[in-house]
A and B are shown apart, each in its own frame.
Chain A
Amino acid sequence: MPINAGYFFKEAGTSFKRNWVMSFGAVVTIFLSLLLIGVSLLIGNVASSLIAGQEQKVNIQVFIKDDASQTDVEGLQRKLQTNDLVKQVDYVSKDQAFARFKRQTQQTPDIARNLEGNPLPASIEVQLHDTHNVQKVVNTIKATPEFKNIASPPNDPSQSIRYGQDIVKRLFNFTRVLRVVGIVFIVMLAVVSLIFINNTIRMAIYARRNELAIMRLVGASNWFIRMPFVFEGMMQAIVGSLMAIGVMLALQFLALPKIQNTIRFMPFGSTNGYIWVVSLILIAGGVLIGVFGSWIAMRRYLKV
């Protein structure tokens, strides 16, 4: 059947012109919904990269007294290296610790300058594969005889090991809540957009009921009658998602660097690659919502 595909575009365009208030409403709803979905995805990403940064800090630090024996230190290091839960073991000497301290206090160099000698202890830094296992590894370390020999200060070994168990727990709880809230939020927004598209297509069907009656009478095929509405829903969704992507890109490349500048201490990490993934999700989600929404509307209101 020689059907000019331009017909469907034209029809969808005409309908948009004729019914632009409603269409505009649908576009704006999709735009806002997708924008919120996108922003929550981005925030989720920033949050998880922040958390990842925090989780890095959760690694175990064992401080070593200045006169600890080399064999004990190496013994403990060797034991940790053979532990399956441990990813990496680093020895940080007194000098390295001091250098790091000086770097951290760059802004106020007087602090380091006023110190007499080097008061910082050497340490062993342990990185784990999975931060959930912090407590287990800490207990293992505490049980080794070498630990007691090298602990600084020697009179209170519990102070010589640092791992922030509270932070770990709170972070995990926080991420779990964040994920659940995010998913619920996104599902709700998707449903709202669906309802809105459904409504606009219903209005479009109503506005064209005379044409539709004639189309049915003269024997237009069912898919021919439906196609303009699918197109319309899809076009609304695509316009909405392009707008959302535009705003997201603006946020990413204009606003985020400024925000990052004001809070340097919290590295957002790089989301530049992620934004394109989000854009893709938005456009795919938009099209899906558009097609699905108009399909439901047609099933309910277009008896062909």
Chain B
Amino acid sequence: MPDLQATLDHIVPEDTLTATERRPSGPPMIVMQNVTKRYVPERAALDGVSIEIAAGEFVFIVGHSGSGKSTFIRSLLHEVIPTSGRIIVAGHDLSKIRTSKIPYLRRNIGCVFQDFKLLPNKTAFENVAFALQVIGKSKHVINTQVPEVLRLVGLEGKIDNYPHELSGGEQQRVSVARAFVNRPPLLLCDEPTGNLDPQTSFGIMKLLERINHTGTTVLVATHDQEMVNRMRRRVIALDEGHIVRDQSRGVYGHAN
């Protein structure tokens, strides 16, 4: 791997951006300090992971199945509680957070999944509206924000369609709209293009990039080599719970 890495690094033109420009400065959105998670005592899903992700960054998390990507993402949501270590997300210290405050943490984090997780009996509009409804937003807010975000993801003509009437890419756009409608400062995507063809995937990535341009920190866990190589963003590679590579403007890398 080092050889390949060196080659790839050589190919990537390093002169276009300086290091400070590549990683937007500002208060960190995510801080992980020596985070370890063991589901079973003998094997660690995350092993002493320390990382800092600044507000406004676009980051890929890459690695094989079982490398700890999902545990990484889910620990940021406090769905998985680390065995040891400290995680700070959007100013919340998760080791000290009270159960009753977890919903408020999650209001700051949008989530997109491989399987979309749309409600089949609700239209695109209703699916997005649901996310606002259940955090107690008023009808007025819902009626202005939902069409707006659906326009942003390019679904203005399909707001009254049910998920089964939409293509996979369109469904994922609804799901992105739902994650973003509340304008969270952080967007987590777990294999967002896992079920989509390359062309559609690229469309979704472009959408995530646009969202990133609004200042939202975007974290994408993915297998999609081509996509990662094409986007040239910061890449954090995980293997057996360790960070094996953290590279700005990186590529997927084969040996990982």
Q: Which residues from chain B contact A210 at a C-beta distance below 8 Å?
A: 117, 119
Q: How far is the CB of B110 from chain A (nearest CB, A)?
A: 8
Contact assessment for A216 and B136 in the assembled complex, using a CB-CB cutoff below 8 Å: no
Contact assessment for B134 and A224 in the assembled complex, using a CB-CB cutoff below 8 Å: yes
Contact assessment for B134 and A2 in the assembled complex, using a CB-CB cutoff below 8 Å: no
Q: How many A-B residue pairs have CB under 8 A?
A: 58
Q: Which residues from chain B contact A7 at a C-beta distance below 8 Å?
A: 133
Q: Which residues from chain A contact B39 at a C-beta distance below 8 Å?
A: none
Contact assessment for B111 and A220 in the assembled complex, using a CB-CB cutoff below 8 Å: no
Q: Which residues from chain A contact B77 at a C-beta distance below 8 Å?
A: 217
Which of B22-30, B47-55, B61-69, B100-108 has 4 or more CB atoms under 8 Å from chain A?
Answer: B100-108
Chain B residue at minimum C-beta to C-beta distance from A211:
B119
- The docked-state distance in angstroms from the alpha carbon of A217 to that of B78 is 10
Cβ-neighbour of A219 out of B107, B117, B119, B139 (below 8 A): B107
- The docked-state distance in angstroms from the alpha carbon of A224 to that of B131 is 13
Contact assessment for B104 and A219 in the assembled complex, using a CB-CB cutoff below 8 Å: yes
Q: How far is the CB of A47 from chain B (nearest CB, A)?
A: 51
Contact assessment for A218 and B104 in the assembled complex, using a CB-CB cutoff below 8 Å: no
- The docked-state distance in angstroms from the alpha carbon of A1 to that of B137 is 8
B37 within 8 A of A: no
B138 within 8 A of A: yes
Please indicate which of the listed interface residues A1, A216, A220, A225 has the most CB atoms of chain B within 10 Å of its own CB. A220
Chain A contact surface mostly: helix
Q: A213-B117, A214-B119 are in contact. Are A2 and B111 (CB under 8 A)?
A: no
A218-248 vs B, CB cutoff 8 Å, 1 = contact: the mask equals: 1111101100000000000000000000000
B12 within 8 A of A: no
Q: List residues 1-40 of chain A with CB under 8 A from any CB of chain B.
A: 1-4, 7
Q: Which residues from chain A contact B103 at a C-beta distance below 8 Å?
A: 216, 219-222
Q: Which residues from chain B contact A221 at a C-beta distance below 8 Å?
A: 100, 103-104, 135-136
Please indicate which of the listed interface residues B107, B136, B138, B139 has the most CB atoms of chain A within 10 Å of its own CB. B136
Contact assessment for B131 and A218 in the assembled complex, using a CB-CB cutoff below 8 Å: yes
Cβ-neighbour of B131 out of A1, A213, A214, A225 (below 8 A): A214
> How many residues from A make CB contacts under 8 Å with B?
19
Q: List residues 99-129 of chain B with CB under 8 A from any CB of chain A.
A: 99-100, 102-109, 111, 117, 119
Q: A2-B138, A210-B117, A213-B117 are in contact. Are A219 and B105 (CB under 8 A)?
A: yes
A251 within 8 A of B: no
A215 within 8 A of B: yes
Q: How far is the CB of B116 from chain A (nearest CB, A)?
A: 11
Contact assessment for B119 and A218 in the assembled complex, using a CB-CB cutoff below 8 Å: no
Q: Which residues from chain B contact A217 at a C-beta distance below 8 Å?
A: 77, 106, 111, 117
Contact assessment for A2 and B119 in the assembled complex, using a CB-CB cutoff below 8 Å: no
Q: Which residues from chain A contact B135 at a C-beta distance below 8 Å?
A: 218-221, 224
Q: How far is the CB of B191 from chain A (nearest CB, A)?
A: 15
Q: Which residues from chain B contact A1 at a C-beta distance below 8 Å?
A: 136
B71 within 8 A of A: no
Q: Which residues from chain A contact B202 at a C-beta distance below 8 Å?
A: none
- The docked-state distance in angstroms from the alpha carbon of A213 to that of B139 is 23
Q: Which residues from chain B contact A4 at a C-beta distance below 8 Å?
A: 139
- The docked-state distance in angstroms from the alpha carbon of A219 to that of B138 is 16
Cβ-neighbour of B130 out of A214, A216, A219, A224 (below 8 A): A214
- The docked-state distance in angstroms from the alpha carbon of A213 to that of B74 is 13
Cβ-neighbour of A214 out of B100, B102, B104, B117 (below 8 A): B117
B70 within 8 A of A: no
Q: Which residues from chain A contact B102 at a C-beta distance below 8 Å?
A: 219
Q: List residues 136-171 of chain B with CB under 8 A from any CB of chain A.
A: 136-139
A137-177 vs B, CB cutoff 8 Å, 1 = contact: the mask equals: 00000000000000000000000000000000000000000
Q: Which residues from chain B contact A2 at a C-beta distance below 8 Å?
A: 136-138
Chain B residue at minimum C-beta to C-beta distance from A208:
B119
- The docked-state distance in angstroms from the alpha carbon of A96 to that of B199 is 110
Q: Which residues from chain B contact A224 at a C-beta distance below 8 Å?
A: 134-136
B234 within 8 A of A: no
B182 within 8 A of A: yes
Q: List residues 198-219 of chain A with CB under 8 A from any CB of chain B.
A: 210-211, 213-219
- The docked-state distance in angstroms from the alpha carbon of A223 to that of B233 is 40
- The docked-state distance in angstroms from the alpha carbon of A3 to that of B138 is 7
- The docked-state distance in angstroms from the alpha carbon of A1 to that of B107 is 14
- The docked-state distance in angstroms from the alpha carbon of A93 to that of B130 is 86
Residues of chain B at the chain A interface (Cβ within 8 Å): 77, 99-100, 102-109, 111, 117, 119, 130-131, 133-139, 178, 182
Q: List 15 other contacts, CB 8 Å, given A211-B119, A217-B77, A222-B103.
A: A1-B136, A2-B136, A2-B138, A214-B130, A216-B103, A216-B106, A217-B111, A217-B117, A218-B131, A218-B135, A219-B104, A221-B100, A224-B134, A224-B136, A225-B134
A-B contact pairs, 11 of them (CB 8 A): A1-B136, A2-B137, A3-B136, A7-B133, A213-B117, A214-B131, A218-B182, A219-B108, A221-B104, A224-B134, A224-B135
Q: Would you list the 7 A-B pairs with minimal beta carbon distance, nearest first?
A: A219-B106, A219-B107, A220-B134, A218-B131, A1-B136, A219-B103, A3-B136
